[in-house]
Amino acid sequence: MPLFSKQPSPGDNRIENAGRWPVRLTHFHLTDDYSFPATNYPEIFFVQQGGLLHETRNGKQTIREGFCILVHPGHQHAIVNPENVIISRLRYLPEWFTMEYSAIIAMPDVLTLFFDQSWLQFPRDDSLHVFNTRPETHSLIRSELDYLQTILKGGHHLEPLSRLSLLKIMAGVASDFQRFWRGAGGPELTPQVQFAFDLIERKVFAGDQFRDPALRTGGFDKLEVESAFRNYTGLSPQEYCERRRIFHAAYYLIATDDDPKQISRVTGFPDYTRFKLCFDETFEIAPEVYREKFRSLVGPDEST
């Protein structure tokens, strides 16, 4: 049966959800074929048990326990002929990790694999990636998934513990992806780019305005920093700064009860009109609607 006419089979499949946005964990216990529709969110799948055929537009691939599937938004895929499979899916909002800036910047593999189209503007490889993990990574992920499930079932999805647990999983996955898929050598984070990242983040966190001449304060040539920064991020320092302001604002909309107008001031926007315009351009949704959608107090969504 072709992939895109496939429907979830009732059979004995069982789905267990834990958590709500901004971090969600779902365990799929599969004995029958199952299809995953395209979504608007990045997803990480981890095969905890069993074997299966994984079907995409490009064909089918046999995978087993210990494999990871990295799905960019907009992709469909399906599980075919599962043999007592348990596969765990993680969904997350990249903006929820804004306060983990230092950890993410220090892990370029994590940055470019999971945050490339949010914090930066890398051209994305639209392939859906499937690869095996090393035994030590496999063990780490399984342990961290159990811990994360406990956190989320306890209603702590809005707390830093949930972000840090997911970051540990991302770090393990990114390390093995770099090793087995991309080969040796990751993107080079030069001192000039690191300086610009840190400078801009301090300005945004303080709600201060960023001016290009500040790039000279690190002892670098301003044009040299701008060139290196654009080569690394695909953005000018000013463009990146505005993007980070939006992500800080999105974080505050989820994590606090502050009025959106106050959030726009705290994050350094010149006026609320500019804030709403930038927010809609980034998330295609108004700030108030974003808060309502991702701070819902209802139970976990049972949909796929």
How do residues 161-219 score in pLDDT, each as one tens digit?
999 999 999 999 999 988 776 655 555 789 999 999 999 999 999 999 999 899 988 88
Token reading at 129: 């990636």
pLDDT at 72: 86
| Count of other CB atoms within 10 angstroms of residue 119 | 24
Torsion sign (Cα): 202, 205, 206, 208? positive
Provide the pLDDT confidence category of residue 10 given band limits of 50, 70 and 90: low
Mean model confidence pLDDT for the chain: 89
**142-151: which pairs have CB atoms within 8 A and are 24 or more residues apart?**
142/46, 142/48, 144/168, 144/169, 144/172, 145/25, 145/46, 145/48, 145/88, 145/169, 148/18, 148/23, 148/25, 149/18, 149/25, 149/27, 151/19
- In this prediction the pTM is 0.89
Query: What structural domains does the chain harbor?
Result: 3-182 (2.60.120.280), 191-294 (1.10.10.60)
Average pLDDT over residues 117-135: 83
Torsion sign (Cα): 289, 295, 298, 299? positive
Contact 282, 276 (CB under 8 A): no
Bridge partners of 76, per DSSP, are none
Contact 23, 300 (CB under 8 A): no
Average pLDDT over residues 247-274: 95
- What percent of the chain lies above the pLDDT cut of 90? 72
